[in-house]
Amino acid sequence: MTPVKVFGSVAFTNVARVLVCLEEVGADYEIVDIDFHVKEHKSPEHLARNPFGQVPAFQDGDLMLFQSRAISRYVLSKYRTDEVNLLREGSPEESALVDVWLDVEALQYDPAMSSVFFQHRVVPALGGMPDEGIIGESVEKLRKVLDVYEARLTKHRYLAGDFLSLADLSHFPETYYFMEMPYAAVFDSYPRVREWLEDLFARPAIKKVVSLMAKDFSG
Amino acid sequence: MAPAVKVYGWAMSPFVARALLCLEEAGVEYELVAMNPEAGDHLRPDFLAKNPFAQVPVLEDGDLTLFESRAIARHVLRKHKPELLAGDGSPEAAAMVAVWLEVEAHQHHAPTDAIIVQCIVVPLRGGVRDQAVVDENVAKLRKVLEVYEARLSASMYLAGDSLTLADLSHFPMMHYFMETEYAALVEELPHVKAWWEELNARPAARRVTAIGVQAADRWAQERGKQ
């Protein structure tokens, strides 16, 4: 069977998200780099894959997809087995809870973190000064989200219930970068959240993607 | 007998409207438990027990309590009208619905919301719009809608040949957006315009609009009394 193709560098959080899913289901895949330095993401060829000129894009035979959480859903559904059912298909209640906490990740957790990353890492790289006001606000937002997570994870082993799902895995990429910043100390007050993250980061699929991300930066 | 499904929230919220639209499309009986944001109903402990993020809507379906409007939408349609969520049920069809639902959430929502806030919400609260914010987001939304125009020129609906949640999910925010002077952004794109008009003409959409108008009238009356 032809390996599926993921377009975009693993250094991007949204690309890493898709790779974690491919690793979890053990699918064969190929990474095709898109060179932002030469604006390849805005080339007609890439726009045909992702009309918003972003990464990742994903190809499986004739099917072309974009938006990392949509690609992730497709991968986890297509390669689902009895043992690896990370969307909890077959259980309407469990699937619904996966949808809830995946949206929480996408709309509450991720934006707070990526805002800090943007100010702390991207703005200086572009020659600007980080806006400490925005950082402060974002860290506060994150703190409020973590308050809820701590309570939730005290009642359940994972976010959607006592089962691992895409809702948990989807937190990995943004968290990975956040932990390299001084603001990571915000996690110190949340023991159950820290345990949950350690559990995630110990998974072979995540360790594999981390090693790819490390290679990408040094390459 | 009281309906098994309850939605908590205020009808003027586009997020609540998204949940109501799916219930109406699926023909599911429900009770809307009206809440008052100005009275801080969403901050009370009994509501936080349902949604610790203090946001509306919340949906209760028997023992299941859900929040996040798109998760609620998925649940309602999965249970009652799966073809609106998964097309023909193939992984490819479901994937296309997922793609365009993500596009709605991550590309369409933010610039649309910024324009609505500046043009409708801020003046309603007695403030003055920030035109720079409007201009920035009009430029962003224009680019997004150009992608939609191209897509809808090649495909009847966003995810393919049939209407799905990917289309429906746009209705609540677009409904407010089309009341601003920037509706021209939609009107100047023939396929987007036709797609919008069809969405807006759906009986379920009309019912949700009526519920919202009723709620807005009641709110205005309450305001008038103060």
Contact A69, A170 (CB under 8 A): yes
pLDDT digits (tens, 9 = 90+) for A107-133: 999 999 999 999 999 999 999 999 999
DSSP string, B59-122: EEETTEEEESHHHHHHHHHHHH-THHHHTTS-HHHHHHHHHHHHHIIIIIHHHHHHHHIIIIIH
pLDDT of residue B220: 82
Q: What is the mean pLDDT of residues A5-14?
A: 97
Q: Is the pLDDT of residue B87 over 60?
A: yes
pLDDT band at B1 (very low <50, low <70, confident <90, very high): low
pLDDT of residue A205: 98
Task: Record the tokens describing residue A42, joined without a space.
Answer: 């805005």
Phi, psi of B174 (to 5 degrees): -65, -35
What element of type H or E holds B6?
strand B5-9
Q: Cis omega before residue A182 (within 30°)?
A: no
pLDDT digits (tens, 9 = 90+) for A175-203: 999 999 999 999 999 999 999 999 999 99
Average pLDDT over all residues of chain B: 96
Q: Is the pLDDT of residue A218 over 60?
A: no
Q: Is the pLDDT of residue B218 over 90?
A: no
For residue B223, the distance in angstroms to the closest alpha carbon of chain A comes to: 31
Contact B96, A71 (CB under 8 A): no
Tell me which amino acid residue B153 is.
S
Average pLDDT over all residues of chain A: 96
pLDDT of residue A184: 95
The residue length of chain A stands at: 219
Residue A66 three-state SS: strand
CB within 8 Å: A95 and B147:
no
pLDDT of residue A140: 97
pLDDT band at B96 (very low <50, low <70, confident <90, very high): very high
Architecture of domain A4-78: 3-Layer(aba) Sandwich (3.40)
The residue length of chain B stands at: 226
Give me the residue from A66, A78, A103 closest to B70, CB to CB. Answer: A103
- Burial of A119 from C-beta contacts in 10 A (0-12 / 13-18 / 19+): buried
CB within 8 Å: A70 and B101:
yes
For residue A204, the distance in angstroms to the closest alpha carbon of chain B comes to: 26
The interface predicted TM-score (ipTM) is 0.96
- Burial of A217 from C-beta contacts in 10 A (0-12 / 13-18 / 19+): exposed
Cα B178 to Cα B195: distance, rounded to the nearest angstrom: 13
Q: Is the pLDDT of residue A71 over 80?
A: yes
pLDDT band at B216 (very low <50, low <70, confident <90, very high): confident
Q: Is the pLDDT of residue B223 over 80?
A: no
Q: Is the pLDDT of residue A217 over 70?
A: no
pLDDT band at A219 (very low <50, low <70, confident <90, very high): very low
Give me the residue from A66, A99, A151 closest to B71, CB to CB. Answer: A99
Q: What stretch(es) of chain A map to CATH 3.40.30.10?
A: 4-78
Classify strands B30-34 and B64-67 as parallel, antiparallel or unpaired.
unpaired
Q: List CB contacts (< 8 A) between B103 and chain A.
A: 52, 67
Cα B186 to Cα B214: distance, rounded to the nearest angstrom: 26
Q: Is the pLDDT of residue B226 over 60?
A: no
Cα A200 to Cα B206: distance, rounded to the nearest angstrom: 45
pLDDT of residue B2: 72
Share of chain B above pLDDT 90, in %: 91
Q: What stretch(es) of chain A map to CATH 1.20.1050.10?
A: 92-218
Compute how many other C-beta atoms are within 10 angstroms of the C-beta atom of residue A65. 26
Task: Record the tokens describing residue B38, joined without a space.
Answer: 């100005």
pLDDT digits (tens, 9 = 90+) for B18-44: 999 999 999 999 999 999 999 999 999
More confident of the two residues B76 and B220: B76
pLDDT of residue B89: 86
pLDDT digits (tens, 9 = 90+) for B110-128: 999 999 999 999 999 999 9
CB within 8 Å: A96 and B103:
no
Looking at chain A from residue 65 to 124, which residues have their Cβ under 8 Å from any Cβ of chain B? 65-67, 69-71, 73-74, 77-78, 92-93, 95-97, 99-100, 102-104, 106-108
The class that CATH gives domain A92-218 is mainly alpha
**Minimum mean pLDDT among A1-5, A152-156, B144-148, B181-185: which range?**
A1-5
Contact B58, B50 (CB under 8 A): yes
CB within 8 Å: A93 and B64:
yes
Contact A61, A18 (CB under 8 A): no
- What is the longest distance spanned by two Cα atoms in chain B? 55
Give me the residue from A52, A65, A96 closest to B75, CB to CB. Answer: A96
CB within 8 Å: A104 and B98:
no
pLDDT of residue A216: 73
Alpha helices in chain A, H assignment, sequence order = 13-25, 44-47, 68-78, 92-104, 110-117, 123-125, 132-155, 166-169, 172-178, 191-201, 204-218
